[in-house]
Homo-oligomer: A and B are copies of this chain.
Amino acid sequence: MSKRELADPGPVEVFAALGDPTRLSLLTKLSDGQTRSIVTLSADTNLTRQAVTKHLQVLERAGLVRSVRVGRESQFGYRPEPITEARSYLDRVSAQWDDALERLKALVER
């Protein structure tokens, strides 16, 4: 357990990152697979470029996007892994709930 270079943060951080309208819309935009610069992403946002930058940093810390500086601009792209993890987290919660219901039903029908 030593090399670890930028571990995917846990579900809490991912959910927190998704829990803001601006960030959620930035992410869903980027999930179309296209890579975009900060000015481009700020375009339809009525926020300042710097505000958008901050949101992108939050998304990046959560592992949801990755940025690469290319020339004078940094291109942001979607990273699917954390979403997959978050999804399976929710799946487990749902599963636990479903199990509980199942047991209850079995008990009642006995």
Q: Which residues of A contact B (CB under 8 A)?
A: 11-21, 24, 27-28, 31-34, 78, 80, 83-84, 86-87, 90-91, 93-94, 96-97, 100-101, 103-104
* Bound Cα distance A83, B93 (Å): 8
Report yes or no: A78 in contact with B97, Cβ–Cβ below 8 A.
yes
Interface of A is mostly: helix
Q: Which of B12, B28, B91, B103 contacts A87 (CB 8 A)?
A: B91
Closest CB of chain B to A24's CB: distance in Å?
A: 6
Report yes or no: B94 in contact with A83, Cβ–Cβ below 8 A.
yes
Closest CB of chain B to A78's CB: distance in Å?
A: 6
Report yes or no: B91 in contact with A32, Cβ–Cβ below 8 A.
no
Closest CB of chain B to A110's CB: distance in Å?
A: 17
